[in-house]
Amino acid sequence: MVGAIGFEPMTPCAQGRCATRLRYAPTANHCTASAGTRSAPQATRITASHPNAAAPGYNCWTSSGCTLMEPPQYAVVAYVKHELGAFVEALRRQVDPRFGHLPAHITVLPPRCIQGSESHAQSALEELCDDQHPFEITLGDVESFVPRTSVVFIRIAHAAYKMRELHDRLNAGPFLFEEPWPYMPHLTIIKSEQPEHAQEVLAGIRRRWAGYSGSRRIRIEQLTFVRQSDGTHWEDLAPIRLGRSLASR
């Protein structure tokens, strides 16, 4: 899933590459402090001179010399549709209803801030994907990231290297970011708040997946550029087709 409260673990942001491997957990008193001590300052919203200042989730606050900025998070995903996607979504609603609204997907670029405007980022994505051939992957077994994170997922058994190559290709330009974990393509079933819960439901998810009789193949031919809009909700910004220039030749 995208975001600790959405698709994949949320990420710290900067206008350039990420400088640390810390997870982004903003608090009300996080600020760039000026010299001196002030008591009980009151925060006041200001207008931010940022290309995406109008985007949902972008806040700039000042409070007696302190500044807190929360740029919006963006990601690139490949939606999983048809029978397979419906199966995963129904299973997720059963074991973790909090994320039942999220469509089945494989994350290509985990959440991050972008450099520049959304339109510039979209154009860069389209250019990078123009001559990328569509390809097919096959899902494998159910596994988990516990205890590192409380995620239960279906791994990619065939052609995972093509997803990694696509990830590396797109992690450039306005999307360039030093991710906190090595990229491992997968289809998330749940991201629990408690490792114990993930362990409890793991066996049941494995049984349900073993009983799935449909195709486990996914054709990757279109990506979607998304932005976190509110909490666990993400907004589709643009579909990005793979190999558009190849189709016209």
Q: What residue ranges do the domains of the chain occupy? A: 2-11+73-247
Query: Which parts of the chain have pLDDT scores under 70?
Result: 1-69, 247-249
Mean pLDDT, all residues of the chain = 79
In this structure, how many other beta carbons lie within 10 angstroms of the beta carbon of residue 17? Answer: 10
Q: How far is CA 209 from CA 68, 108, 214, in A?
A: 44, 23, 10
Q: How far is CA 54 from CA 28, 48, 246, in A?
A: 21, 9, 35
Estimate the crossing angle of helix 118-129 against helix 160-170, to 10 degrees: 140
Strands 222-230, 2-3: pairing kind: unpaired
Q: What does the pLDDT read at residue 229?
A: 86
Fold of 2-11+73-247: Cyclic Phosphodiesterase; Chain: A, (3.90.1140)
Q: How far apart are the first and last CA of the chain?
A: 36
Q: What does the pLDDT read at residue 189?
A: 95
DSSP annotation of 82 reads H
In this structure, how many other beta carbons lie within 10 angstroms of the beta carbon of residue 155? Answer: 14
Q: Each residue of 87-129: pLDDT tens digit? A: 999 999 999 888 888 899 999 999 999 999 999 999 999 999 9
Q: What does the pLDDT read at residue 248?
A: 61
Q: What does the pLDDT read at residue 101?
A: 86
